[in-house]
Amino acid sequence: MPSDFRRKVLYIPGFDPFPPRRYRELFRRESAMQADISGYRIQTRPRRHGTGFGWLATGQFGDRSVQTEFEVLVWDDLVQASMSQGIGATYLQLLMTVHAYIFSGAFFRLMRLRRGPVLAALYPIVVLLLQLMLAGLAAWLTGVLAARVLPWAFALIPAALAGYAVLAGFRRIDHRLFAYYLMHDYAFTAMHRGAYPTALDHRVEQFAERLRDALAENPDEVLVVGHSSGAYLAASVVARYLRDKGAPPAPLSLLTLGHVVPMASFLPRARALRADLAQLATADGIFWLDVTAPGDACCFGLCDPVAVTGVAGPDQRWPLVLSAAFTQTLSDARRKELRNRWFRLHFQYLCAFDQPGDYDYFAITTGPVPLAERFAGRAPSPGRIATPAGPGLP
């Protein structure tokens, strides 16, 4: 049966070292759950052709069928390389990151927005410093005991080994604590004080070329989706395409989810990102929807990424800022199940809602209605934060 609607989705993950197949499995599992709840059908299957990693999804919404081709624009190799730091190098990253945010004033600007994501950013710093203190305590106690039978010069050896053993032990259980992971995440952004590292800048250029190729296929919609730190990469990808190619030949939509844009755009050398945001704010030929939730402590919930960065002019059109409204779209039982699971809540935008509202990731990506039409005429959520707090344009 031929499809009534063809869509191409280019998905950009956040700072994630895992291979892209996890997103295929997440989509397969969660789309089936949402389809059962919402009364439509979605089938996923492998792609036979195409570049990169992706899959096909067929949606059946009443008497309309949709074929969506998903492609994950990967940068997990860059993430993995940045996370291959030793214990000592991670503590150097901690110092560098603190210096970048404190002495640039970005930290204090961020505190004027949402405190949740700022406190989340402080979490790895506090945990790593506590680990260092415990390692120091273990080294001191071991040194005192060893000094009873050894000269102090020799007692320093078991003391140092004890301290290192404590730090190495914490590193081994970081899959539970996430302190090293988060530290690498924030350090990756702070490393060049908001400017894209050369390798990432080249990757963004490649993503913009993939967007050009996707639009050349002339589907009914090309949808660029960015989650978490992938949200500002997605914004840069679309901005670079428009800057180089002009008006798109097919409907082009941008969907940013759970964004952390201010963590990058508030840094002093993020001038290119701020220029990209300013360009998109007034761009013709696109539709930009930004979805966050105040219940997601890892994102800047309902913060307009353009306005809070300080680059919005009087003719700002984008993005349309909407809330995923976890208190309404997730049942009490489901919210209780997810309580204190920060990372899982941060991925909820890509998952099924048991009390779905206007935002439905699977209806948006595999349904027969383009993003612009689905949300036409919608006003921003009442809690939208648009107070400028960032450095703005030079």
Report the SS3 class of residue 108.
Answer: helix
Same-domain check for residues 185 and 241? no
Question: What digits encode the pLDDT tens for the residues 228-285?
Answer: 999 999 999 999 999 998 888 889 999 999 999 999 999 999 999 999 999 999 999 9
The tokens of 331 are what? 């049942």
CATH at residue 58: 3.40.50
Same-domain check for residues 70 and 102? no
Question: What digits encode the pLDDT tens for the residues 138-165?
Answer: 999 999 999 888 887 788 899 999 999 9
Residue 340 domain-assigned? yes
Residue 281 domain-assigned? yes
Distance CA 185, CA 203 (A): 17
Please give the share of the chain, as a percent, with pLDDT higher than 90: 87
The tokens of 391 are what? 């450095």
User: Which residue reads 């400017």 in tokens?
Assistant: 195
Total domains present in the chain: 2
* pLDDT tens for the 394 residues of the chain, in order: 456 899 999 999 999 998 899 999 999 999 999 999 999 999 999 987 777 899 999 999 999 999 999 999 999 999 999 998 899 999 999 999 999 999 999 999 999 988 888 888 899 999 999 999 999 999 999 999 998 888 877 888 999 999 999 999 999 999 899 999 999 999 999 999 999 999 999 999 999 999 999 999 999 999 999 999 999 999 999 999 999 988 888 899 999 999 999 999 999 999 999 999 999 999 999 999 999 999 999 999 999 999 999 999 999 999 999 999 999 999 999 999 998 888 899 999 999 999 999 999 999 999 999 999 999 999 999 999 999 999 988 7
pLDDT computed for residue 51 by the predictor: 77
> Angle 372-265-247 (CA atoms, 0-180°, nearest 5)?
35
Same-domain check for residues 147 and 182? yes
Last residue of one domain, picked from the residues 172, 190, 208: 190
Same-domain check for residues 182 and 214? no
Same-domain check for residues 269 and 341? yes
Same-domain check for residues 354 and 222? yes
- Domain extent for 102: 86-190
Same-domain check for residues 302 and 219? yes
Same-domain check for residues 136 and 97? yes
